[in-house]
Amino acid sequence: MLPGWLPPFVLEATQAPEVEALHGDLLRKWASSEVWRLSYGLRSVIVKRGTGSQSSEQAAYQRFVIPLELPAPQLLYAEGGVLVLEDVGRVTLEQEPTAEGFVAAAELLAEIRTAPAAGASEFPPERVKELAARIGRIAFDVSPLTEALADLHAQTPSRVVHSDYVPKNLVTDGLRWTAVDWPLAHLAPHLSDLYTLIRDAVALGHDRGPIVAQYVEAAGADPFLVDRQILVGGACFCLRALDFVVAEGLRTIPESVDWIDPLLAELADLVEQLS
């Protein structure tokens, strides 16, 4: 049964005569997010409703995706926390986690990171201490991360961070790859997106080298700086993930309690590497 919050625009987008004529596939349903694919004949759209941290996707489109022409689904309609988006494909990198797919995702990320975003970093060095205090479970010194992040701010400009650049959010139609799910996008100089991409690839048995090499070549980046950006980005990812779990996840995703200890261990290892 289709949800009652669907906007009338879905009929215009799919050219369905009535809501009852639509075919609906529920793609995700969490306490903070619900996503459907709605289709009528050969026409389909993605409809999303988000709350909490998932409610800011429209703002991310207005700030980053639309003006910078980032590789994301076209926003067709947005009102009251409900978005109607272009359907960019039915296969994700999570469903078909090939080595070639991860390399293509690295090239896609280079396109995002070389877009000339304007504005100050939204993850300054002082944010490390702020998040660590809010999480309240970190028993080790995070000052090496603060110092490394400060160095990155001096060495390289802040660019768009997708902030959930993982296989489930990388979609292909067989011809092109697209990044979906942008509510957490922000500006920062680190490469947490490349870190999470590599993290998942390595967990699946793929080599890290070709992914990093593709990013470096496509972005025209300094490989030594990229390695540092990946390390710092990984630590920043862990901090943000822990903050989400403590502030929101324990309520909206009960199983996220099991993420805390592994994330703390991962963060400790990354900070030690930065020392």
Same domain, 162 and 201: yes
The CATH number covering residue 14 comes to 3.30.200.20
49, 65, 87: which is the final residue of a domain?
87
The CATH number covering residue 216 comes to 3.90.1200.10
SS3 assignment, position 163: coil
87, 110, 132: which is the final residue of a domain?
87
Residue 199 is predicted with a pLDDT of 98
> Does 144 fall in a domain?
yes
Residue 249 is predicted with a pLDDT of 82
Same domain, 172 and 40: no
**Cβ–Cβ < 8 Å for 238, 270:** yes
> Does 2 fall in a domain?
no
Same domain, 205 and 234: yes
Residue whose C-alpha is closest to residue 31's, from 257, 260, 250, 259: 250
Same domain, 243 and 133: yes
Residue 128 is predicted with a pLDDT of 98
Mark the ranges of the chain whose per-residue pLDDT is less than 70. 53
Same domain, 124 and 257: yes
70, 87, 104: which is the final residue of a domain?
87
Residue 254 is predicted with a pLDDT of 85
Same domain, 24 and 112: no
pLDDT digits (tens, 9 = 90+) for 40-60: 999 999 999 988 767 799 999
Q: What is the pTM of this model?
A: 0.94
Count up the domains in the chain and report the number. 2
Residue 108 is predicted with a pLDDT of 98
**Cβ–Cβ contacts within 10 Å for residue 139, how many?**
6
Same domain, 41 and 70: yes
Same domain, 128 and 114: yes
Same domain, 187 and 56: no
**Cβ–Cβ < 8 Å for 198, 213:** no
> Does 1 fall in a domain?
no
Q: CA separation (Å) from 249 to 117, 217, 242?
A: 30, 37, 9
Same domain, 154 and 70: no
Residue ranges making up the domain that contains 18: 9-87
**Cβ–Cβ < 8 Å for 113, 219:** yes
Same domain, 170 and 62: no
Amino acid at 150: A
